[in-house]
Chains A and B, each alone.
Chain A
Amino acid sequence: MQPRWGTTVMSPENEMSEDYSSIDELLDTAKKCRRNIVQMVHRANAGHPGGSLSAIDILVALYKTRLNVDSSNPDDPERDRFIMSKGHASPAVYAILHEMGFLSEEDLSTYRVMGGVCQGHVDMKWTPGVDFSAGSLGMGLSFGLGTALAATLDDSPRTSYVMLGDGELQEGQVWEAAMAAVHHEVGNLKVFVDRNRIQNDDFCEKQMRMFDVAAKWGGFGWAVRECDGHNMNEIVEAIEWMDSVTDGPAVVVAHTIKGKGVSFMEDNPSFHGAAPNDDQLRVAMEELE
């Protein structure tokens, strides 16, 4: 495989790749997930709503349209893998796993509670449907590379999807894995970057300027595409595109809004890792009606 130097491709104008009704269903599911995300964090009085709300549209589209997983057999060796590398966005994972039948309403109420199945950061040992124990940034892409290489060795069609945060790209290990994935021509490894532009302390731009994120991936030889991470049509199409790339790894840089869907959380670094109070919860639920 030749490196795709600078082949950043913007997605075409909102072409509808699915019929309207299924897109509406995805949007409806995403809204339900958003409500659960905010409620989980409020109940626990701790957690990371901002990065969960920015990621959730992508998760809904991936689980509902593509990911081969089965809640009645969560450990099926032939399942696709979803690796949430930004493990603090666990409420987003729990919300979609609830929609997919892996977790009950009651399970969701155990988020950050002792003995509960929903740990503070996603953990494969505690939660059915979770494939990777995260919490330290920068490790998920390497793990996904491992599961992808295993699938290749097994001559299996299973695919590994990894979600990275944009702040997470500051971790050097991400680029160790990025280089290795291209070297090994891993065609069954697909990555989403949740480009919400905010990290723990402040805007990424202030903490560590990253310039053109897509160009960085292109420079490493990945097939790259960008999309609006809250436009379901674009997300579904981006997933179809990444699945069409089979001679090497593919990444979609999804431009998102941290806290998307809750006005006072949107683009607000304060809600990276803070829970809404009772009044804020009420407002959020009204906005997510």
Chain B
Amino acid sequence: MSLVASRDGYGSALVKLATDPEVIVVEADLGKSTKSQNFRKLLPERTISLGIAEQNMMLVSAGLATSGYKPFASTFAIFTERAFEQVRNGIARPNIPVHICGSHGGIHTGTDGSSAQSIEDLAIYRSLPNMVVMHPSDFNSTEQLTLQLAQTKSPSYTRTARNKTPVIYDEQAASNLKIGKGSILVEGNDVAIIACGVMVSRALEAAQNLEANGINATVVDMHTIKPLDGKLISQLAEKCGCFVTAEDHSVIGGLGGAVAEHLSEKCPSPLERIGVSDHFGQSGDGDELLEEYSMGASHIVAAAQRVMQRK
């Protein structure tokens, strides 16, 4: 299985978007890391670098967007949060289509340590009206969904991951993805595992382990956290009757929070949330940290077995 970081999918999409004369890339010094440098090398005249100044980046992007451009602004997930009020008041509130990419999200970011490991970005951006919020799982899906953003009239936040993860979709499969539509990777009737980002490959591994124990799980890549594919969740409540969510994010307010809100209002069903349990991270290897914080495939398996008992 080949391993590539989802941030490379973002960089690759920007290069493909270079043919759209309205697309413009905005950076706050970290283009080498977010991979926006791929676009800058190709089209320096349509790249605006603003130095280490995220608040300025957000509003410059808003100004560009109201003048007919499609700005793709990127930095680390954590530094987009430094400009949260700028995103709230300067982008989301006037509903200006600025596309923000936060790379290096989650505990899986690894050795940089807790200051860089955003575990709350999905929750805070999800709380803003008008925003689309995504966390794709691999190279090809990140590329595909980023390409679709160029045709989206809403402001958006997309989290990408720093470290390499398994490629889940080939190009053909990725071309069927749609913003706002959950992607079913495995079908089963016993339990539904809803995952996003780097946890999708772990959910797939968990489903294989469950199958060996005679349990058939559905696995959904819920790459779009907002708007949430509530229709799919309701169908799965009917079909499977219980859920596990898996995300490299706080269990508060992110994918687990969004699914819990939907279930409790529309189709009450037992739910177990795998994620960061209300604490900060630390330095370490990404995979090692996910195990340390009970977010590995074996933990998803155990959660599935627990939640099935609650049906």
**A residues in contact (CB < 8 Å) with B:** 77, 123-125, 131, 133, 135-136, 138-140, 142-151, 153-154, 160, 172-173, 176-177, 179-180, 183-184
Measured between beta carbons, the chain A residues less than 8 angstroms from B62 are 142-143, 146
A174 to chain B minimum Cβ distance, whole angstroms, is 9
B169 at the A/B interface (Cβ < 8 Å)?
no
- A125-B96 Cα distance, complex, nearest whole Å: 10
- A180-B48 Cα distance, complex, nearest whole Å: 10
Assess whether A145 is in contact with B69, with CB atoms less than 8 Å apart.
no
Assess whether A180 is in contact with B53, with CB atoms less than 8 Å apart.
yes
Assess whether B51 is in contact with A183, with CB atoms less than 8 Å apart.
yes
- A242-B71 Cα distance, complex, nearest whole Å: 29
- A115-B286 Cα distance, complex, nearest whole Å: 51
B309 at the A/B interface (Cβ < 8 Å)?
no
A181 to chain B minimum Cβ distance, whole angstroms, is 10
A136 with B56, Cβ < 8 A, contacts A147-B67, A151-B67 known: no
B227 at the A/B interface (Cβ < 8 Å)?
no
Tell me the nearest residue of chain A to B24, going by C-beta. Answer: A153
Assess whether B90 is in contact with A143, with CB atoms less than 8 Å apart.
yes
Most A CB atoms within 10 A — which of B55, B68, B86?
A: B55
Tell me the nearest residue of chain B to A87, going by C-beta. Answer: B89
Assess whether A146 is in contact with B60, with CB atoms less than 8 Å apart.
yes
B50 at the A/B interface (Cβ < 8 Å)?
yes
Assess whether B56 is in contact with A180, with CB atoms less than 8 Å apart.
yes
Assess whether B67 is in contact with A135, with CB atoms less than 8 Å apart.
no
6 closest residue pairs by CB, A with B: A146-B63, A142-B59, A150-B67, A176-B53, A176-B56, A146-B60
13 contacts between A and B (CB under 8 A): A124-B66, A133-B94, A139-B55, A143-B63, A145-B60, A146-B64, A149-B64, A150-B64, A151-B67, A173-B53, A173-B56, A176-B50, A183-B51
Tell me the nearest residue of chain B to A140, going by C-beta. Answer: B59
| Chain B residues numbered 3-61 whose CB sits less than 8 Å from any CB in chain A | 24, 45-46, 48, 50-51, 53, 55-61
B282 to chain A minimum Cβ distance, whole angstroms, is 30
Assess whether A139 is in contact with B89, with CB atoms less than 8 Å apart.
yes
Measured between beta carbons, the chain A residues less than 8 angstroms from B278 are none
B238 at the A/B interface (Cβ < 8 Å)?
no
Q: Dominant SS at the B interface?
A: helix
A125 with B51, Cβ < 8 A, contacts A136-B85, A142-B59, A146-B60 known: no
Tell me the nearest residue of chain A to B89, going by C-beta. Answer: A136
| Chain B residues numbered 61-113 whose CB sits less than 8 Å from any CB in chain A | 61-69, 85-86, 89-90, 93-95
Of the residues A151, A173, A177, A184, contact of B48 by C-beta under 8 Å: A184
| Chain B residues numbered 89-146 whose CB sits less than 8 Å from any CB in chain A | 89-90, 93-95
Of the residues B48, B51, B55, contact of A149 by C-beta under 8 Å: B48
- A150-B51 Cα distance, complex, nearest whole Å: 18
- A76-B67 Cα distance, complex, nearest whole Å: 10
A211 to chain B minimum Cβ distance, whole angstroms, is 23
Contact with A along B239-280 (1 / 0, CB 8 A): 000000000000000000000000000000000000000000
